[in-house]
């Protein structure tokens, strides 16, 4: 079944120190990333929904909310961003939610909704961007009706975490405990914004587990160690794929720590 939307929820249950390996103290990003897919130009492409946080001491402080349409082969990044949110520094007990989904009212557009608890106005912010490379439509069957199983297009997986700020950097935590949840759904929204699901079916997520490197689609990392029922030495290739037997959606959640 295709994916029509997803979200990452990060809860800073205990936040000690956090330093980006390149930018310095207080820089990080919260990312929701799609799978790679083949665009109409034959290149591999992907979409990233991101909140990039800079500390108050930065030249340009605040949270910048962006949808990135990425041509992976050409390393070409097209961004649509919201003006920076000016809030306080995150502390223990804060949380952030980044949600990305396809726009069923306006075909060919992607939407992103963000909430961060360190925003003093406690608002919900949105970003809209064109689906430049066809994440939500099939490029394999141009001009034709997509077959069953490819109703929405090329979005079949997602991944995400709290990571380095950018340029392949690492978010390095100390004395921290972070709860992370990834949600995914395959339903569309009607005029009343109710969730209307496709026929029941199963999804299989990529055979990965929460880890330091969340996805090869992003070069940013963190030093958090996931607390799961799996042994830390278990390779991702032998873990069972997460199955979603519901038409509506499913989720995975876990704790990650840094000493």
CA dist 143 → 37, 40, 43, 44, 149 (Å): 18, 12, 19, 20, 17
CB 182 within 8 A of CB 251: yes
Q: Which residue has the higher pLDDT, 179 or 152?
A: 179
pLDDT at residue 137, as a whole number:
67
Confidence of residue 214 (pLDDT cuts 50, 70, 90): very low
CB 120 within 8 A of CB 88: yes
Number of folded domains that form the chain: 1
pTM of the model: 0.82
pLDDT at residue 158, as a whole number:
81
Q: Which residue has the higher pLDDT, 242 or 103?
A: 103
Q: Which residue has the higher pLDDT, 34 or 149?
A: 34
Average pLDDT, the chain: 78
CA dist 67 → 52, 75, 155, 190 (Å): 11, 15, 15, 23
Q: Which residue has the higher pLDDT, 158 or 22?
A: 22
Write out the residue range of the structural domain in which residue 174 sits: 5-258
Of all helices (H) and strands (E), which one includes residue 177?
Answer: strand 176-185
Average pLDDT of the segment spanning 149-175: 83
Between strands 62-71 and 76-85, the pairing is antiparallel
| 3-class state of residue 160 by DSSP | strand
Tell me how far apart the alpha carbons of residues 11 and 233 are, in angstroms, rounded to a whole number.
26
pLDDT over 70 percentage in the chain: 70
């Amino acid at each position: 079944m295709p994916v029509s939307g997803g979200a990452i929820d990060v809860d800073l249950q205990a936040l000690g120190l956090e330093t980006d390996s390149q930018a310095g103290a207080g820089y990080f990003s919260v990312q929701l990333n799609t799978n790679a897919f083949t665009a109409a130009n034959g290149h591999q492409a992907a979409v990233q929904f991101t909140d990039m946080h800079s500390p108050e001491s930065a030249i340009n402080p605040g949270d910048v909310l962006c949808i990135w349409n990425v041509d992976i082969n050409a390393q070409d990044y097209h961004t649509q961003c919201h003006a920076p949110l000016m809030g306080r520094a995150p502390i223990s007990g804060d949380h952030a939610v980044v949600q990305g989904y396809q726009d069923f009212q306006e075909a060919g557009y992607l939407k992103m909704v963000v909430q961060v608890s360190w925003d003093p106005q406690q608002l919900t912010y949105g970003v809209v961007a064109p689906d430049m490379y066809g994440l939500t439509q099939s490029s394999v069957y141009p001009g034709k009706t997509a077959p069953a199983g490819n109703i929405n297009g090329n979005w079949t997986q997602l991944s995400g975490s709290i990571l380095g700020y950018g340029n392949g950097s690492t978010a390095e935590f100390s004395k921290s405990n972070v709860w992370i949840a990834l949600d995914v759904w395959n339903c569309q929204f009607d005029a009343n914004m109710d969730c209307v699901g496709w026929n029941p079916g199963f999804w299989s997520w990529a055979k990965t587990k929460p880890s330091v490197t969340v996805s090869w689609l992003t070069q940013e990392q963190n030093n958090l160690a996931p607390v799961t029922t799996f042994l830390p030495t278990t390779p991702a290739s032998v873990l069972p794929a997460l199955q979603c037997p519901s038409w509506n959606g499913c989720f995975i959640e876990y704790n990650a720590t840094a000493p």
